[in-house]
Amino acid sequence: MRYQFKTSYDRDIDLFGDAAQRNWYLALLAVLCAAPLVLEQFWLGELSYVFILSIAAVGLMLLTGYTGQVSLCHGAFLGIGAYAYAVLLQRGVPFFVAAPLASLITAGVGAAIGFPALRLVGIYLAMATLAFNFIVEYVFVHWDSVTGGFSGFAVPQPTVFGYSIVDYPLFYYLTLAALLFALFVANNIMRAPTGRALIALRDSEVAAQSMGVKLTRYKTISFALSAGLTGFAGAFFAHKIGYLAPDAFGILLSIQLLLMVVVGGLGSFRGAIFGALFVGALPSVIALLRDFLPQSVARQPGLEPGLFGLILIGFILFEPHGIEGRWRKLRLFFSQFPMYRVATFKKQKSFTKSERFR
């Protein structure tokens, strides 16, 4: 059994729980940095794709997992980031300015839609954000002069450090660095007062208010930060798909992003990455499955979205803590090995909460 023994307040605040945990992450990072030595370009591309999805999922996790606000428009935020970035590149803005600027623009849009969504909760918020996703798609199609309309446009490929940005392993390292940066800022905000305020308004709005948390301010901040991170992912996503057209950023993408955070485990950035890995790998798994399924099923056009839906429902019903929850159980099982009790994660007691909660 491991026990974290804290001898100073800094130990509470630091990004890593203890030296052992830090070393594991450093080892993982070393492996990822060395990957281009052994992996073929195809696999580096797949990994970059997972990194990009992870950044977007970290953004959505901030809003849905930590602030408790469901969103069905993060596909649109990814799109806004991608379009803003590519348009900036077209205008000759260099990569290192265009990517942060695209993120800021998306954050601004996020704040703007967060504000009217403030009074909405649950299913109503889901519907409002869904509607917003359609509006954004509509804008992509009809704002011809900038977005190229229905047919879209090819994303320019600037040179970075003397190479074309889409060259490997450069693109791989750029996306890895972007993911590390996204994780850095996301974890920072969660260990600061702002992050705690987000958790507070997720768990009890009325108590959050009595502690001095201004609900409108923090919901808006959450939408803005979440959209900003997802828009940042959009910049890299633009290169990944190479050609921007409105149908890339439809509702299915938003659902996939939501699937990532739910399957990964709400309330954990590590879960967001597990989810991105899972959803990133899913299409390949489905492609493999097609060979084994009877023709009539395998040829169904809706197979992929249908499976996404099924998996989402399955996780909500049977493993609400997602892959991250599984991971924690597994780790505890090994750390307590012969002593592990099945009941450890059973709810001990449930207290009835009445409607008159105050």
Among 47, 84, 88, 225, binds another protein (CB under 8 A): 225
User: What Rg, from alpha-carbon coordinates, does the chain have?
Assistant: 21
**Rounded to 5 degrees, what angle do the CA atoms 291, 292, 295 make?**
75
Segment contacting another protein (CB under 8 A): 117-125, 142-150, 199-207, 322-330? 199-207
Q: How far apart are CA 111 and CA 293, in angstroms?
A: 45
* Nearest distance from C-beta of residue 216 to another protein, angstroms: 9
- Does position 202 bind another protein by CB under 8 A? yes
- Does position 178 bind another protein by CB under 8 A? no
- Residue 313 token pair: 């429902």
- Residue 62 phi, psi dihedral angles, 5° rounding: -60, -45
- Does position 221 bind another protein by CB under 8 A? yes
Question: Residue 271 is which amino acid?
Answer: G
Q: How far apart are CA 204 and CA 13, in angstroms?
A: 24
Please give the size of the binding site for another protein, defined by CB under 8 A.
42
- Residue 354 token pair: 């009445």
Contact between 131 and 116 (Cβ < 8 Å): no
Q: Between 96 and 134, name the residue whose CB sits nearer to another protein.
A: 96
- Does position 193 bind another protein by CB under 8 A? yes
* Cα atoms in the 13 Å half-sphere on the side-chain side of 44: 21
* Nearest distance from C-beta of residue 253 to another protein, angstroms: 26
Among 31, 127, 207, 313, binds another protein (CB under 8 A): 207
- What would the x/- binding string for another protein be over residues 13 to 32, using CB under 8 A? x-------------------
Q: How far apart are CA 240 and CA 252, in angstroms?
A: 18
**Rounded to 5 degrees, what angle do the CA atoms 341, 345, 347 make?**
120
- Does position 214 bind another protein by CB under 8 A? yes
- What would the x/- binding string for another protein be over residues 285 to 314, using CB under 8 A? ------------------------------
Positions 78 through 137 that interact with another protein (CB under 8 A): none
Among 200, 235, 255, 257, binds another protein (CB under 8 A): 200
Closest CA to 270 of 336, 190, 173: 190
Which parts of this chain interact with another protein (CB under 8 A)? 4, 9-10, 12-13, 185, 188-189, 191-197, 199-200, 202-204, 206-215, 221, 225, 267, 347-349, 351, 353-354, 356-358
